[in-house]
Structure formats: C-alpha cells, structure tokens
Structure 1
Amino acid sequence: MSRLVVDGWGKTIASENDQIVVKEREANETRIVFRSNPSEIEQVIVTGSGSITTRAIELLAENGVGVIFIDWKGQVRAMISPPIMRTVNTRREQYRAFDEPKGGELAKEFVRCKMRNQMSLLGTMAKTRRDSQPEKAQALSMERHRIELWFEKLNEVKTASCKEIRDAIMGIEGNASAIYWNSISQLIEESFQFRNRSGRYATDPVNALLNYGYAVLEGECWKAIHYAGLDPYGGFLHVDRPGRASMVLDLMEMFRQQIVDKVVFELIFHKRVKPKEFEMENGVCKMQEDVRKLLLTEILSKMEDYIRLPEKRMKWSDVIQREAVSVAKFLRGETTSYRGFWMRW
C-alpha cells in the first residue's frame, strides 16, 4: 500500500470504474495522471489547491482510506475519516481516565518518551561529531545530561489525575525542550537564522521545515488514533481547546524527534536545502515548492522505513499504529501499564 500525494493546482480526485483517479487540467485538455484501486491506497494527502468528488470520498471511505489536507504553513486544515469500526467502550474509558491516575500516568509517559528521544538524538549527534568536532560533541553530551536531570525530576512527580500533575510535567517538558532546541541551534548555520521553536507560524526556514513535517506526522497519528477507536480530541497531556486534537498531539510527542527532526536536520546538515529557497509571506516563512516536495518525499519515505525493535522489525507507520492501540488497550483495562515508544542511541 502507498500514500497518494496530490499537490499543485487544478487537480481533481475522482472515481472511475471503482478506481481512484487524479485528473489534471492543462489549457483545454484533461488527462489522468494517477489511477489505482482504493484498496492499494493507505492515505491521501492533499497539499495543493484542487477538488475531490463525493463518489471518490465514498469509495475511499469504503476502503478505510482517510484524506488529510495540509497547507503551505504546515497546518492540517481538514481531515476526512472513514466510519469508526471500534467499540465505543474505548472512548468511554478514555473520558473517564482523564479524572483518574490512569490519565496522569499516560501524560507522564508521553513526556518521558519525548525526553528520552531528545536525549537519544543529542547523544547520536554527539557521537557522530566526536572526531570531527570534539568541542561540539562535548557540548551536546553536556546538554543531554542536563535533560537527563530534568528526566529524573519527572520521575519524582507522583502519579495523579491529569489536572493535578499536568502543570508540573509540562513545566519539566518545557525546560527539557528549551535545552534541546538551544543545542540544535548551535549546530545550524547562522544563515538559517534559527534561534528556537517559533510555534505554528514559522519565522525562519528551520521552523518552516519542522512545521510542515509535523503536519505530515499529525496526519499519520490522526489515522492511528482513529483506527484504535480513540477520540482524537480527548487528550491527557495537551490542554483541551475548541478544535484542538489533543489526543493526536499526545501521540505525536513520542515520534517528533525520530521521524521529523532527524529528517529536517539531515536535509540541513547535508546542504540539501538552502536559506535562499525560503521567503517571508505575511510574516510567515514559506518554502519553495521544490523544497516542500523534497521534505514531503523524505518524511513519507521515513514512514515506510523499518526499524528493529526487541521483538521484530516494523515500519515506522506501524509503530505509530501499535502505540495508539496499546494506549486503547491500557484504557480498557486489558493491560495493567503502558510503556511508550523511545529509541536508544
């Protein structure tokens, strides 16, 4: 199975003989640029300006295929998901857990895994620079240790309901992330003007790349949450806000570093992207089309890469799905504890 990416302008996703086709109009001529059985499509990602017919939506839904719309700012603008096939009991337990220690345990574990992955990535970058850049390698190791100290503080937080411990664990997460991003900023060329994470409105090329990469990851986590029978809006770590898919964001925390950050940093360190390929538009940094397509290709390729786990080899996309299912099982009481995903270095 593969992901269908529809970008550019003037394209239409339609159905023809119970197949999904993409039509492109040029001048007065319309031609088919893609054709596939819906059963062979894993997900549809729309990044340009086009249209989709109602029959195409129905055909995709019948085959369990979702559609995600991402704009150039790296924001997920809409999702079309197939009907939920899981038991409603999962969602009932999800809502109940928010006011119980079980919810706080999940929130702590999401942050614990994120911090482990931050330490892992800094450790890897220190190791690869040990001979060529010993001073930077030493600095990275020291910053990794600083995150480790905050990790120990996280473990000292007694598990309770989300409301009782959220501020404490988010404060710890914030301090660890500040150390992580400051360390990264020391490795990136000054011409990229990267100082720190700027949030959803990118102020520099690095943040533009990260935001777009996180949007692609968000779409994958949406799919995993949906098929696990969880409510995408009922998170434990992220604060509830109207329209905010906090459970999706919770799941994302375990995969930002290994799937998105690594790809973005490699593109920068290997000089596959350059500052001149970005421009400011209405106060937001925008990447050129070639850069966006390169990043999208690399992220989607990463999703299909296999990693070796203690029990077997799995694709990254399957690992994300596995974690969502594991959270659901924990909430339903089918397991007594939940241990999230993180990579050793």
Structure 2
Amino acid sequence: MKKLLNTVYVTTEGAALRKDGETLVAEIEGEIKARVPMHMLASVVLFGPIFISPALIGACAGAGITLVLLDRIGRFQARIEGPVSGNVLLRRAQYKASDAPDEIVRSLVIGKIANQRSVLMRALRDYAGEYHPDVRGAVEQAAMRMAQILRRVEHVEPVLDQLRGAEGEAANLYFSVFNHLIRSPDAALQWAGRSRRPPLDPVNALLSFLYTLLTHDCRSACEAAGLDSAVGFLHRDRPGRPSLALDLMEELRAPLVDRLALSLINRRQLREGDFVKQDSGAVFLTDDARKTVLTAWQDRKKEERVHPFLNEKAPFGLVPWLQAQLLARHLRGDLEAYPPWFWT
C-alpha cells in the first residue's frame, strides 16, 4: 500500500525540493508549500524544470525512493534510484522464459483484449438508450469480433507472431469505435486515431500523459518484485525500453487509463481550453489540466475491485504490484501459468 499511495507529484515549474532532517520539503519562490516525511515516500515524480538538492537525491537513493524526471508534457526523461535489489535466480528464470514467451504472451493478450472489450460493453450498458442504432451496431460488431479473436487466442496453439497479430487486430477494432465512446460537445475532443511522439490532438495528449503515469507504476512494480523491467515477453527488447513494464501495463490500459480519460472528457472536467497546440502540431495539457488529471488519477487508483485470481478486494493502484508478484511466482514455478487481471 505504501508504494500505491505515497507517490508525490511536483508539477509547478521552478519549484525546489530539499532535504530537512528526514523530511522532504517543497518550496516555491522560497515559501514552503509542503513537508513530507521521507519514510512515507515510495517515489517522487517531477514534471519540467524542478530543482532537487544533492542531499535529497542522495537520501532518496539510500532510502529506496525513486526519483522520476518527466518533461513538462509528461514524457519520460530519467529515473534516479539507488542499487536495485532483486533475486538473481528469479531474473535468470525471467531471461530463460523470454526466449520462449508464448504462454506468457497468450495470458497478456487475453487480458488486454478482454479488458478492451469490457470497456466497449460498459459503454453499451451505460448509454443503452442514447446511441443511434448505427453507432450502437458498430460498437456491438467490434465487441463481437473481439470476442471471436479472444476465443481464437485462448484455444489455438500459441505462436508468438500470431499472438502479436491478434493483439494488433483487436486493438484496431477497439480504436475504430473509440470515438463513439466520447460524448463531449467540444469538436476538438474527438478521436481520429492514435498519434504519439508527439500527440496531435487533445484525446491523444490525455492518453499519452496517463500512459506515462501507468508505465512508471508498472516499472516500479516490476523492480519491487525483483524482475528486470527491461526484459519483456510481448514487447521486443530495445535499449532503454522498459519492455516488461510495457507488457504489464497492456492489460491495464483500457480499464485504468482509457476509462479514466473517457470519464474526464464525458463529465466535462476537461474541455477544449485545457489543451494547447504548438506550432509543430503537437498538443499538450495545460498546467492546470495536468493537476486535474493527476488528482483524478490518484482517486482512480484508490477505487477497489475484486481481484479475479486472488478473490480479494484490491485498489486499482495496487494491481500492477499484484500482477508483478504473480508473474514472479509463475517464473519461479509456484504458479502453472501467469493469471491476467480482468476488469469487471
């Protein structure tokens, strides 16, 4: 729970962080704005140009508190952390499994497709009487075809390229009707397809920002479980890429991020004016909008659901840590297969 709730986000450019005894102190223009005991911290996430004292950096590294540096629009820049602890036998098992990852990839893909389909089905239930018949039919057709892909993935002999192809096919179906889930009166807040690095419209800007936050949590969860976040199964290895963290977040994208993004837009907590477009065409959240999203993200992580495998209630924000632990147990041989997390 400590790693779930005790993340500090610093979004005000020009803020300064320093160490005072065993306390993190945040200041703006010399005025103290917050004091947080360091024993309560698991990580600190900084957006844009924030000053960090060398004493604080050293204290965080020694205490196992991760410092994550993002640019002002939320793109990952660096992590500062002390020695990474982990079980060498677990990591050897992970590296061996990465050479033949088909069964693990099958579980990841099943979880992702099932959760994407659940988002579509939830929209059909929530707006049952409001959809135009043609729109409802399009969403139902996409959900039906995704169910067919899901059955295919569950029952055929897993072949890595075919599993990746099924994951891509289902994602195309999901995003082909994603705009039907948006109910904002703002013409700018419409979906025309995925764009990133940089995002080219407000919805993509919001999704990219939230995916960055989820990636941070998944990476921390992998390392906390003693896993190597750079060696994945679904995502190919690439220098500097946290492939395992990206694997872990695939089944969580739709219920944790996409649903939150839709809620923020459909409840009109975010409007067209909460985004800025640069001369390059890139679109980003404003400073105030980022704070709104961060507050909603933290609230979302506190919501509880019954974990389908553990059969116990757990907050959304704890799910990456639970899944990383279950993956570690599978790699150690304690579980026959990796159990994906299903959103209900």
The AA in structure 1 aligned to 2:33 is: V
Structure 2 partner of 1:143: 142
What SS does structure 2 have at the residue aligned with 1:232?
coil
Report whether the alignment pairs 1:124 with 2:122. yes
What SS does structure 1 have at the residue aligned with 2:50?
strand
Aligned pairs for 1:100-111 within 5 A: 100=100, 103-111=101-109
**Aligned partners of 1:305, 1:57: CA distance in 2, in Å?**
32
Conservation of the 8 A alpha-carbon contact between 1:210 and 1:264? yes
Structure 1 partner of 2:317: 317
Determine which of 212, 215, 220 is the counterpart of 1:215: 212
Q: Provide the alpha-carbon RMSD of the alignment.
A: 1.7
Aligned pairs for 1:282-293 within 5 A: 282-293=280-291
The AA in structure 2 aligned to 1:155 is: E
**Aligned partners of 1:253, 1:301: CA distance in 2, in Å?**
21
Q: How far did residue 52 of structure 1 move? A: 1.4
Structure 1 partner of 2:11: 7
Structure 1 partner of 2:36: 36
After alignment, is 76-85 or 283-292 more displaced? 76-85
After alignment, is 274-283 or 241-250 more displaced? 274-283
**Aligned partners of 1:317, 1:63: CA distance in 2, in Å?**
22
Aligned pairs for 1:1-345 within 5 A: 1=2, 2-25=6-29, 30-100=30-100, 103-133=101-131, 135=133, 136-159=135-158, 165-188=159-182, 190-281=187-278, 282-309=280-307, 311-344=311-344
Structure 2 partner of 1:162: none
Conservation of the 8 A alpha-carbon contact between 2:115 and 2:254? yes
Gaps of 5+ in 1: 160-164
The AA in structure 2 aligned to 1:19 is: T
Q: How far did residue 238 of structure 1 move? A: 0.6
**Aligned partners of 1:106, 1:200: CA distance in 2, in Å?**
29
Conservation of the 8 A alpha-carbon contact between 1:74 and 1:200? no
Task: Give the TM-score, by structure 2 length.
Answer: 0.91
What SS does structure 1 have at the residue aligned with 2:147?
helix
Q: Stretches of 4+ moved more than 6 A in 1?
A: none
Conservation of the 8 A alpha-carbon contact between 1:73 and 1:284? no
After alignment, is 251-260 or 300-309 more displaced? 300-309
Gaps of 5+ in 2: none
What SS does structure 1 have at the residue aligned with 2:276?
strand
Conservation of the 8 A alpha-carbon contact between 1:74 and 1:214? no
**Aligned partners of 2:148, 2:211: CA distance in 1, in Å?**
27
Task: Give the TM-score, by structure 1 length.
Answer: 0.91
**Aligned partners of 1:320, 1:215: CA distance in 2, in Å?**
14
**Aligned partners of 2:147, 2:74: CA distance in 1, in Å?**
31
**Aligned partners of 2:22, 2:274: CA distance in 1, in Å?**
41
Identity level (%): 29
Q: How far did residue 42 of structure 1 move? A: 2.9
